[in-house]
A and B are shown apart, each in its own frame.
Chain A
C-alpha cells in the first residue's frame, strides 16, 4: 500500500495539547512541512512565545529557546546575530507581539533582522483565559470586555502587520488564515516564502496567520471558522501587505 500522508520529519511523535478546532496545531504542522521541504531541520532554531504555543517545542523537532513574553524578536536577534548561518523563527501570538512585545518587534523589523516571524492572530489571550487582545475586534466580547470591546474605552484592534510594513527593514509581510483548506494551503506557501526570504538574506519577513480560538470565543470549531470568514477577515484582510522580493 502506498503511504500518502505521514507526520513531517520535523515533528515529534507527540499528541497536541491544543483544544479542538485551535489553529496552532495546523500552523505547527505547516511550519514542520516547510522545514522538511526546504531541508533545513538541522539549521533551524525556533523561539516559542509565552501563551498556549509556548509548548511548540514539544511538537517541533528542532532546537528551540524560550523567550520571555513579547521578547521573541530580541531573543531571535541575539541568536541570528550570533549564528548567521542558522535559520531562526519566532512564533508569537497577538498579545505577545502586538501588545507587550510591540517595541522589540518594530525595531527588529526596522533593523531588517534576518529572521522570520510567524504571528498567530486569534484576537484573544488564550492561555490566560480569554481576555481582550490588542487585536480583539470592536464589539467582540472577552473576559475583560464583557459587553464587547468599546473603541472609546479600549482603543481599536491594532494593525501590527501594516505598521511593520512601514519599517524600511521589512521586505515580506503577508496576512493569511487557516480557517479553510484553501487558506491552509496558501498559508503554507506564505510561510515557505518567508523562510526563503530569510535564507536569501533579504530582510525581515513575517506571516500573520488568522487563527480560530473556539474555546475562548465560546463557540464550536465550525462556527469559529465561519466567524473568521464572515467577520474577522473584513477587519484583517488577507493580503500581501509588503513584498519587496517577488518570486523566490
Chain B
C-alpha cells in the first residue's frame, strides 16, 4: 500500500532512494542539502545492510560510490553546486567505467562559493558532461515533491539499465519546499536483476577488471563510440516533457524545476486575461527533448526560455528548433527567485511586442 507523507524535498529524495533499494550513501556537508545527508544517516542505520559514511570530502564520497558501484549495489551521493564540481572527476570515471550511480545536485547560487539560495547555474555542467572526456550522464529535473520521489526511483532504474551515472538536478527551493508525496512501496532488493559484470572475487569464474584506462587508441576510440551508441539509445528512449496549456498557445514558456513552477503561476494569471501562453517543461535535461520542440514549432511561433541563470538551457532550445521559432530569454541568476508577477510582465511585454495578440 502506498502512503501519503508531507516531506521537504531533500527528505523525499532520501526516503525514495531507500525505498528504491539504495543501501549505500556517502556525503559531505553543504548547504542547502544537508537535510538529505542527515536523513540518510538515520534511515540507513535502521535498514539491514545500510552503510552511511560522512566522507572527508566530496572527492572521497564519489570515489566510495565508485567502489560500491563496482560491486553492483545501488548507491547514491548528493551535494550542492561547489561540491558537485569536486565530484566531477569521479563522475567521469563512473561514465568511463560504465558504472551506475545516482548523484543529487541541489543547485545554489554561484560561481565559486556563491551563496546558498536556489539557482540553476549548473545546467551546462550537468548536461554537457561536466568532467573530462567525451561522455554524457542522464539528468532528471523534477518539478514537484511527487516527482522528486518518482524520479529518484527512476534514476536508480536508468542507472542500472544503461550502466550510466544519473543526476537528479534540483535546487535549494526544491530541496526545502514541503509537499505531499505518495511513495511507492519499497522494492525487494533480491528481485533486482543480477549484474553480470560486478567485482566480488573470482569464484567459479575468470577474474574481472573494471577500468577506464585504454592505452590503445583504436580500442579507446571504439570505447567512445560504444558510449556514443549508448547515448543515442538513451536519446531515443527516455526524453520526457510536461506541457501545460500549449494546445492553442502562441508562445510557450520553457522552464524546468523551480523556474517552471513560477512560470506556471504566471501563465495561469495571463490566461485569465486572454493571453494564449503555455508551458513546456523538460523533465529530462539530458537527453534534451529536441524532437518535441520541433513538433511544438508547428503549433506556435515564440518560445520564452526562463531560467534562474544567465541563459544555459536556452542554447539547447535554439539547437532543437534550428530556427523554427523565435527564442526569447529571461534570466535571474545568483540565487534570485523571481515572482510569478515578474515573469507575467516579461511574458506580456514579449507577447505584444511580437504582436501575438493580432493572430487569428
Contacts and interface: CB of A to CB of B under 8 A. Distances in A.
Contacts of A76: 67
A78 B64 contact: yes
B63 A67 contact: yes
A17 B204 CA distance: 28
A201 to B, nearest CB: 16
B209 A64 contact: yes
A64 B63 CA distance: 15
Contacts of B57: 103-104
A8 to B, nearest CB: 13
Interface string A39-61: 00111110000000010010011
Contacts of B138: none
B71 interface: yes
Contacts of A54: 213
Contacts of B63: 67-68, 71, 74-75, 78, 104
A31 to B, nearest CB: 14
A66 B211 contact: yes
A196 to B, nearest CB: 18
Contact of B67 (A64, A77, A87): A77
B203 A78 contact: no
B157 to A, nearest CB: 20
Contacts of A65: 66-67, 70, 97, 199, 209-211
Interface in B1-47: 24, 26
A57 B53 contact: no
A74 B67 contact: yes
B202 A78 contact: no
B200 A81 contact: no
Interface string B163-203: 00000000000000000000000000000000000011111
B207 to A, nearest CB: 5
A82 B201 CA distance: 13
A68 B90 contact: yes
Nearest to B61: A74
Interface string A114-143: 000000000000000000000000000000
B201 A42 contact: yes
Nearest to B64: A78
Contacts of B209: 57, 63-66
**Interface range, B side:** 35 or more
B89 interface: yes
Interface in B88-137: 89-90, 93, 97
Contacts of B70: 45, 65, 75, 78-79
Contacts of B69: 78
B60 interface: yes
A139 B59 CA distance: 33
Contact of A78 (B24, B59, B207): B24
A103 B63 CA distance: 12
Given A68-B90, A68-B93, A81 B202 contact: no
A226 to B, nearest CB: 33
A76 B203 CA distance: 19
Q: Tell me which of A44, A57, A79, A111 has the highest count of chain B C-beta atoms within 10 A of its own C-beta.
A: A79
A171 B210 CA distance: 30
Contact of B199 (A42, A60, A79, A106): A79
B55 interface: yes
Interface in B48-86: 51, 53, 55-57, 59-61, 63-71, 73, 75
Given A63-B208, A68-B90, A77-B53, A42 B202 contact: yes
Given A43-B203, A71-B63, A81-B51, A66 B213 contact: yes
A78 B65 contact: yes
B212 interface: yes
A191 to B, nearest CB: 19
A83 interface: yes
A107 B26 CA distance: 14
A86 interface: yes
Given A64-B207, A66-B97, A68-B90, A86 B67 contact: no
Contacts of B60: 71, 74, 77, 103-104, 107
8 pairs of A and B residues whose beta carbons are closest in the complex? A78-B67, A74-B63, A42-B203, A107-B56, A71-B63, A78-B64, A66-B211, A75-B67
6 contacts: A61-B207, A64-B199, A71-B66, A74-B67, A78-B66, A86-B201
